[in-house]
Structure 1
Amino acid sequence: MCIPNTELQFCTCVEGNIFDIKDIYIWTLRTFVGLKESDRRGKIMIPVENLGNGITIENVIARLNTGNIFDFEYIPKERDTLHISFNAKNKSDYKYFSLIYINKIWEQGSNPVFTSISNQIAEGEIIIKEKKIYDHPNLKK
């Protein structure tokens, strides 16, 4: 079992196909390999900035840029991408955002959808550490 050591922990300990599990926050980490030709055209779903429960673009970027929040050793490489989503039972409630590692920092974005070649590094569930009331910085224990 993955035990969070930060407020958000990106855990790989899910058994089976993570995309079959509903109403959880999931992530997929990929490394960029190259570009390919493509005649594909289409629209992709518009990303959001906030998935709820503290899983926001701003919060995740801040944590990624200050340390490792994965449950394994990971050193990002140029153009690595992190796709984060809420895998809802109801497809209309599905939402996501993507981050890319560029110039030694994580930022919002991704590689070109239809022309990028990438390999999956890992995937899993986001575990949210429960905050106790006495963990609040303005309250004394």
Structure 2
Amino acid sequence: MNVKLSIKWTLHRFLKEGWIGMDGIMFSPVDAFSTSLTSDFFRDAMNSSNCFDFDYCPSEGDNIIFKLIIYDKMSHRNFSEEKFISLIFRNGVWVIDYYDLFYNTIEEIGKGFLKFIE
């Protein structure tokens, strides 16, 4: 197979709500990357234990986005469709939700790639 799949995660901190001064087209999250990698799977995993390998304690409003990355070994290029799964930390748990980035300001506080442990 000449294609490698990975999942990139990006962690954001919620800063403020309010129109940022521009409009445009925004992509919405998907429910699943595959039959097993669903938004429910990611939510349940995040709520079951601390999944991070660095010192992090979620704050109210934190947002994590999981994005599917496809690496084509033949062309040595990464392809990324605008498919992502988004969770927001609310009332002490991760919930399936996303921010409208035209009306909410967030800042990146961490990123990396998922490591699957069997």
Shared fold per TM-score greater than 0.5: yes
After TM superposition, which residue ranges in structure 1, 4 or more long, deviate above 4 angstroms?
Answer: none
Partner residue of 2:114? 126
Higher strand share: 2
Residue in structure 2 matching 1:100, options 74, 85, 88: 88
Q: Deviations over 1:111-136 (max 9, x none)?
A: 23113222222100012234xxxxxx
Larger Rg, first or second structure (1 or 2):
1
Corresponding position: 1:31 with 2:13: yes
* Residues in 1 aligned to 2:116 and 2:98: alpha-carbon distance in whole angstroms: 24
Instruction: After superposition, give the CA deviation of every residue in 1:72-99 in whole Å (9 maximum; x if it has no partner).
Output: 12211111000111023445x4421111
Residue 29 of structure 2: SS of its match in structure 1?
A: coil
Is the 8 Å Cα contact of residues 78 and 103 (structure 1) preserved in structure 2? Answer: yes
Name 2:39's counterpart in structure 1. Answer: 57
Tell me by how many angstroms 1:38 deviates. Answer: 2.5
Contact 1:87–1:95 (8 Å) recurs in 2: no
Among residues 69, 73, 77, which one is paired with 2:59 in the alignment? Answer: 77
- The DSSP-based 3-state class of the residue aligned with 1:59 is helix
Question: Distance between the aligned counterparts of 1:85 and 1:61, measured in 2?
Answer: 14
TM-score by length of 2: 0.77
Shift of 1:46: 3.0
Unaligned runs of 5+ residues in structure 2 are 71-77
Alignment check: 8 A CA contact 2:18 2:103 kept? yes
CA contact (8 A) 2:13 2:62 kept: yes
Counting aligned pairs with the same residue, the percent is 26
SS of the residue corresponding to residue 58 of structure 1 reads helix
TM-score by length of 1: 0.66
CA separation in 2, counterparts of 1:68 and 1:53? Answer: 24
Letter of the 2:59 counterpart:
K
